[in-house]
Structure 1
Amino acid sequence: MNQLLPTTLVGSYAMPEWLIDRARLADRFPPRVRAQELWRVPPERLEEAQDDATLMAIHEQERAGLDIITDGEMRRESYSNRFATALEGVDMDNHGTALDRSGHPNPVPRVVGRIRRTRPVQVRDIEFLRRHTSKPIKITVPGAFTMAQQAQNDFYPTMREMALDYAAAVNEEIRDLFAAGADIVQIDEPYMQARPDQAREFGVEVVDRALDGIAGETALHICFGYAAIIHGDRPKGYDFLPELAASSVRQVSVETAQPRLDPAELEPLRDKRIMVGVIDLNDPAVETPEVVADRIRRAMTRVPAERIIVAPDCGLKYLPRDTAFAKMKAMVDGAAIVRAEVGG
């Protein structure tokens, strides 16, 4: 954990074709409700298959030389639906509808009562990861603000109140994940960029509620959406980013590669650790280590090297496995170039 310019994934790794129907997965927005039809393995064998895929993801990360290992999110149809649909207060038989970040309606959890977490959702995941690697480990959970945006509210007077109850559920999960061996827990909050006006109203309050009393190392991922799903050019800057300087989260994950982000946008966060996205997931070509090194150097013009964590822009979930591994290896090699230059 004291490595200069440590490398890690944002969360997900490329899912194998034998586990999930990748064509159907990529042909839709990430599901907000359960989508069991995407799995290629029968229900009675699914957990075993997901365990095997997780072992593959761990091995690939270690083989590439990553410093911080994730479980690759092999048990999830999307980054958010597995946790969001495990909570009390959601009608699982009658889904709602909400607009996704591209403006299209999508089936979503319909909230009909108070949101409560009644059981651990990802504790087995982190225990499995801890057993199978000796390296520092990270696990991701969906953020409360984003889950509230991805739900149909048929119960709460305001979106803020619903989001705060989601945050209480996330807080309970994070506590259990650290107790089960997590070194870092990351909250995924892409909708803070997608819905910046509401994020400015209560986004930081919701993040701080989710992290209330948490002593472990925490991270927050904010992005423009999966490049495989959200097509076209990225905005050149974030609509909601400097505001996170006031939050209690310790790390912030920022896309810089595909949008060619002006490194000046990182400066308000310089007192936090920044996961600098240096892998462009919209480009099928594999970066050279020197390209990665240049992207790290650009970030270092505004952020001290000791505060930079090297990562892809977003999850590798939708990439072909050979491309995902090659990009991950280039990221590790690029970080090593800069590390040698600064004496780390």
Structure 2
Amino acid sequence: MNKILPTSTAGSLPKPSWLAEPEKLWSPWKLEGEELAGGKRDALLLSLHDQLHAGIDIVSDGEQTRQHFVTTFIEHLSGVDFEKRETVRIRNRYDASVPTIVGEVSRQKPVFVEDAKFLRQHTKQPIKWALPGPMTMIDTLYDSHYKSREKLAWEFAKILNEEARELEAAGVDIIQFDEPAFNVFFDEVNDWGVATLERAIEGLKCETAVHICYGYGIKANTDWKQTLGSEWRQYEESFPKLQRSKIDLISLECHNSHVPMDLIELIRGKKVMVGAIDVASKTVETPEEVANTLRNALRFVDADKLCPCTNCGMAPLPRDVATGKLKALSAGAEIVRRELGA
């Protein structure tokens, strides 16, 4: 898209209360069977309407058809037993009961391709589609088969590439891989994390993105942030390698965080999705606050490479709050566009 400062979201948006319990991750569905399938499509259209109404330029499915940004993809793979659960520590922050890898992992059929085709039919706007990244997938499982995080990551990268190629064929313009684990496992990021990500995008002609944040606005994540000190420099570990990678866009958390803005210098030349909306607060930003974050970022990234975005997904937020934040994102970007004479 030729528009300067095109806005987008990091991924998830709140689900309507008739589909799933609001303000909750892993919220169970309230419908079943055919009703659920139809309800998911209705919610996807509602989410699209909310984004367009708020003036968002690059739209998504709002992750309306999935319970969780990682596990819903994994549910569709063979070699994973969802009945056999183990407790693991996710991103060294909180314990969760997760499924077990019991055999060779493979993808028998497309996971999100029909949803992407459905979204493509209903909008002419550019579409961004989020998939979990290989390292974040590993971190949400117990592996009793490969017994090697790296080996499993390469297997997942191959499967993600199959899905990504079909999403591209369905008309998706940007494929984003969510890798919050990149902010935690620095040695692995540099040893094989970025390499497996490049395997996942192999052969794609559409744009590709990686989203690295400090997590949803849930207590485990906000508590962890309290321990990070006055400067959050985690991006320093992954950005140099990502700058040299084939990934087109890099998405990072900025607004209300302690990330020093000058770290964006480390990804000079890449398109940058700057998180200008705080997803850990129910306070709706003013357009001027958004504009300020974007002005700060423009000191380190050229205007034609800046994409205003949210810090992370907004699934746990009340729907009216999320909608208000989307409108603020659009309005803030418009202020800066006018200042740039665009």
Query: Which TM-score applies when normalising by structure 1?
Result: 0.93
Give 1:192 deviation, angstroms. 1.3
Out of 132, 142, 145, the position equivalent to 1:142 is 132
The gaps in structure 2 that reach 5 residues or longer are none
Out of 107, 111, 122, the position equivalent to 1:121 is 111
- Maintained 8 Å contact 2:272/2:307: yes
Out of 163, 181, 191, the position equivalent to 2:153 is 163
Out of 275, 282, 285, the position equivalent to 2:283 is 285
Alignment pair present for 1:197 and 2:187:
yes
2: CA distance between counterparts of 1:342 and 1:83?
Answer: 41
Aligned to 1:63: 53
Q: What does the per-residue CA deviation read over 1:111-145, in whole Å, with 9 as the maximum and x for residues that have no partner?
A: 12122111100001101110111111111111111
SS at match of 2:222: coil
Aligned to 1:20: 20
Q: Taking every aligned residue pair, what percent have the same amino acid on both sides?
A: 37
Name the aligned partner's letter for residue 145 of structure 1: M
Give 1:279 deviation, angstroms. 0.5
Alignment pair present for 1:99 and 2:89:
yes
User: Aligned residues, how many?
Assistant: 334
Aligned to 2:33: 43
Give 1:22 deviation, angstroms. 2.3
2: CA distance between counterparts of 1:103 and 1:172?
Answer: 31
Out of 196, 201, 207, the position equivalent to 1:217 is 207
Aligned to 1:241: 238
Give 1:93 deviation, angstroms. 2.7
Name the aligned partner's letter for residue 123 of structure 1: V
Distance 1:149 1:58, change over 3 A: same
Name the aligned partner's letter for residue 101 of structure 2: V
Name the aligned partner's letter for residue 18 of structure 1: W
1: CA distance between counterparts of 2:258 and 2:120?
Answer: 35
Aligned to 1:228: 218
Give 1:211 deviation, angstroms. 1.1
Q: What does the per-residue CA deviation read over 1:203-252, in whole Å, with 9 as the maximum and x for residues that have no partner?
A: 11111111112121011101111013422446432424313212211001
Query: Which segment is superposed worse, 159-168 or 251-260?
Result: 251-260
Name the aligned partner's letter for residue 122 of structure 1: F
Q: What does the per-residue CA deviation read over 1:161-218, in whole Å, with 9 as the maximum and x for residues that have no partner?
A: 1100000000000000000110111111111113223222211111111111212101
Give 1:97 deviation, angstroms. 3.0
Aligned to 1:257: 255
Q: What does the per-residue CA deviation read over 1:43-83, in whole Å, with 9 as the maximum and x for residues that have no partner?
A: 34111111111111000100011111101101111111111
SS at match of 1:324: helix
Aligned to 1:7: 7
- Maintained 8 Å contact 2:177/2:209: yes
2: CA distance between counterparts of 1:115 and 1:328?
Answer: 37
Give 1:102 deviation, angstroms. 5.0
Q: What does the per-residue CA deviation read over 1:263-306, in whole Å, with 9 as the maximum and x for residues that have no partner?
A: 11111112110100001122222111111111000000111111
Distance 1:148 1:260, change over 3 A: same
Alignment pair present for 1:305 and 2:296:
no
Aligned to 2:332: 334
Q: CA RMSD in A?
A: 1.5
Name the aligned partner's letter for residue 9 of structure 1: T
